[in-house]
Amino acid sequence: MSIPRPKKITVQFDDDASTVMDFADLTRSLQQEILKQPDFCRSNTEADTGNFVLLKWADGWREVIQIDSGCTGINRYYVITRPEDVGRLSLDTEDGYPELIEIIRKPLDLKSVDFIDSYQISLERSDREGKKIDHFFSLEKGGDALQEAINRFQKAVADEGIDLTELASQPQDQARDTLESIARHMGLVASQRQQDLLDFVTFLVRTEHRRTS
C-alpha cells in the first residue's frame, strides 16, 4: 500500500482570499518540509516490510524511513561534499524514475542500509571537481538489519512487560506512547517523520502478534 500523500494545498490569506495548488507542483524540498509536520501525516498501518528503509551508522545510530510501495530496490549510494556533506540513497521504482532519499546525518559514516535486502556500505572512491567532491560507495549484501530490528523489538517488549495482544488491538493514536517507548528501547528514531517510526513499530507489533498467536 502506498503512503497516503497530499493532493492539494490551500493557502488562506488574512483578507479571506485563498489559493490552491497541486501538492506535486511544489518543490521537492518544500514537499518534504510539509510532510514532516505531524498534522499533515497520515498513518499507513497496512505497510509491510518492503515499505521501510532501515539505516545504521558506524556509531550505532539507527533510523527508519517509510517509502512508497512503488520502490523496488536500492540503486546506489553516494555523498556530495560542497562544502557540507549530503548523502543520496537512490532507489529504483516501478515507473523508472529513481526515488532519492537525502542523508543529512554523518553521510560519510553510514554503515548499512536494509531495504528488501541488507547491504553493508563502504567507500569505493572519491572524485574531486573544483570545490566539489563526489564520494561513491559500494553496496555489498550481508547481515540482516530487519532481523536485528525484530530481535530488538522482542527484547523491548519483554523488558517492558508489554501485552502484544492488547497493543495490537489498539488504534495507533491510542497506542502512541507505548509505540514510542518501544522505539526508544530499540534505539530507533525517525529519519524524517515521526509517523514513519510509529508505522514501522506498528508493523513489528502486528507481525510479532500474528507469529505468536
pLDDT tens string, the chain, 213 residues long: the values are 455 667 788 888 888 888 888 877 777 667 666 666 656 655 655 656 668 999 999 999 999 999 887 888 899 999 999 889 999 999 998 888 888 999 999 999 999 999 878 899 999 999 999 889 999 999 998 877 678 888 999 999 999 999 999 999 999 999 999 999 999 999 999 998 899 999 999 999 988 888 887
Check if the beta carbon of residue 136 is closer than 8 Å to that of residue 108: no
Distance between CA atoms of residues 162 and 187, nearest Å: 17
Count of CA atoms in the C-beta half-sphere (13 A) of 144: 6
DSSP string of 39-89, one letter each residue = GG----TT--GGGEEEEEETTS-EEEEE--TTEEEEEEEEEEESSSEEEEE
List the beta bridge partners of residue 86. 80
Neighbouring residues of 172: CB distance < 8 A, sequence distance ≥ 6: 43, 45, 179, 198, 199, 202
For the chain, the structural domain boundaries read 8-40, 49-143, 146-212
Distance between CA atoms of residues 198 and 190, nearest Å: 9
Neighbouring residues of 171: CB distance < 8 A, sequence distance ≥ 6: none
